[in-house]
């Protein structure tokens, strides 16, 4: 095992495994806490419980890294939008009010999210010093889709409306400022790696991808470099544009989704540590199918820096036993 930060900074070839959404709904321990805490945002802002949830998969599986239990929508929340989580549906945010958005200030933003930073401090104190503690944000485009409640089935129509907003460039600029502040506060609290989730990047039309995906992610990665903290970008769904993204953004790590062929990634994504790729749906199948799919990724990346992870987060219906078996298979793999 090697520290995730070290792998990203020095491009080490060694075994490292963690999972997106490893602290979450598939764990009985989490579900027990969640059943008593109905308001999800309030749960994210409960420092003690957030830390406890973060550490649950570390205690259970001894994974190589912890990722703080929080949510990408904590930033729009701190910027004044109400966030409602509805079972079986996409989160719903209150209407975006431009004037209110611009009236935010950094001191108040930090105050609202202080419990998140406290949770990181608590977790860092309890976590093995050889394990990384990952902080994260949602990328600007992905947050905009929620902040403006864009209909993802009619994304082209919504983009036309979004582009008509004369304040859009300034909104992006201000949003990036607060995302950078959130990163800095998390790093100051003890996080040593940043993951940037652009979960809806695949919806962006090609002619808009530089404006809404490459440039915003690039600005945030540049800020991370100034903090001397490595970043992992996850521009999910952009297919072969991963190659252009990687050349433009230059993050230390890049998480591929399950649509990306691992050998294509190996041949096209250079000067970066590749992470992930395994379809989380595979973990709902037989042990034989799981090990076959995992072997494909392990073998593809065996001679370059690679972090074993998924092409998206663990699904709620995943059996923790299968997670444990996969971890053991990966760690004992000698092929």
Interatomic CA distance for residues 245 and 252, integer angstroms:
12
Strand ranges for the chain from DSSP E? 65-67, 83-84, 92-93, 132-138, 193-197, 231-234, 253-256, 273-276, 306-307
Which one of the listed residues 26, 117, 146, 306 is annotated catalytic?
A: 146
Which one of the listed residues 6, 34, 261, 279 is annotated catalytic?
A: 34
Does residue 25 carry a catalytic annotation?
A: yes
φ, ψ for residue 10, nearest 5 deg? -110, 5
How close are the terminal C-alpha atoms of the chain, in Å? 18
CB–CB of 192/120 below 8 Å?
A: no
Which one of the listed residues 5, 26, 71, 192 is annotated catalytic?
A: 71
Which one of the listed residues 5, 21, 117, 178 is annotated catalytic?
A: 21
CB–CB of 84/92 below 8 Å?
A: yes
Three-class SS state of 244: helix
Which one of the listed residues 6, 25, 261, 279 is annotated catalytic?
A: 25
Among candidate residues 248, 312, 244, the one with its CA nearest the CA of residue 284: 312
Q: What is the CA radius of gyration of the chain?
A: 19
Does residue 34 carry a catalytic annotation?
A: yes
Does residue 228 carry a catalytic annotation?
A: no
Among candidate residues 186, 112, 96, the one with its CA nearest the CA of residue 144: 96
CB–CB of 150/208 below 8 Å?
A: no
Q: Which two tokens stand for residue 234?
A: 């996850």
Q: Which two tokens stand for residue 146?
A: 């929620």
Beta bridge partner(s), residue 67: 134
Catalytic sites, residue numbers: 21, 25, 34, 71, 146
């Amino acid at each position: 095992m090697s520290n995730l930060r070290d792998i990203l900074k020095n491009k080490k070839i060694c075994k490292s495994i963690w999972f997106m959404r490893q602290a979450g709904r598939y764990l009985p321990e989490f579900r027990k806490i969640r059943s008593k805490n109905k308001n999800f945002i309030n749960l994210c802002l409960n420092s003690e419980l957030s830390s406890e949830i973060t550490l649950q998969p570390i205690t259970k599986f001894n994974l190589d890294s912890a990722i703080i239990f929080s949510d990408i929508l904590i930033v729009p929340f701190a910027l004044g939008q109400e966030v409602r989580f509805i079972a079986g549906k996409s989160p719903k945010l209150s209407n975006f009010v431009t004037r209110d958005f611009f009236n935010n200030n950094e001191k108040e933003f930090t105050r609202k999210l202080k419990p998140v930073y406290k949770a990181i401090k608590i977790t860092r104190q309890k976590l093995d010093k050889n394990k990384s503690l990952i902080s994260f944000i949602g990328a600007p485009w992905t947050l905009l889709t929620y902040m403006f409640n864009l209909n993802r089935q009619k994304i082209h129509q919504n983009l036309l409306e979004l582009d008509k907003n004369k304040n859009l460039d300034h909104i992006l600029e201000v949003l990036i400022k607060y995302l950078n502040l959130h990163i800095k506060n998390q790093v100051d609290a003890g996080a040593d790696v940043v993951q940037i989730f652009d979960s809806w990047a695949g919806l962006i039309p090609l002619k808009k991808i530089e404006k809404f995906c490459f440039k915003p992610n690039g600005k945030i990665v540049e800020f991370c470099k100034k903090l001397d903290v490595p970043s992992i970008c996850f521009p999910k769904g952009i297919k072969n544009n991963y190659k252009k993204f990687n050349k433009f953004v230059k993050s230390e790590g890049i998480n591929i989704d399950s649509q990306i062929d691992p050998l294509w990634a190996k041949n096209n994504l250079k000067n970066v540590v590749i992470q992930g790729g395994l379809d989380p749906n595979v973990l709902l199948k037989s042990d034989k199918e799981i090990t076959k799919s995992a072997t494909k990724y392990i073998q593809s990346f065996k001679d370059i820096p690679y972090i074993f992870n998924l092409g998206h987060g663990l699904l709620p219906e995943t059996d923790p036993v299968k997670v444990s078996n996969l971890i053991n298979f990966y760690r004992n793999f000698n092929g």
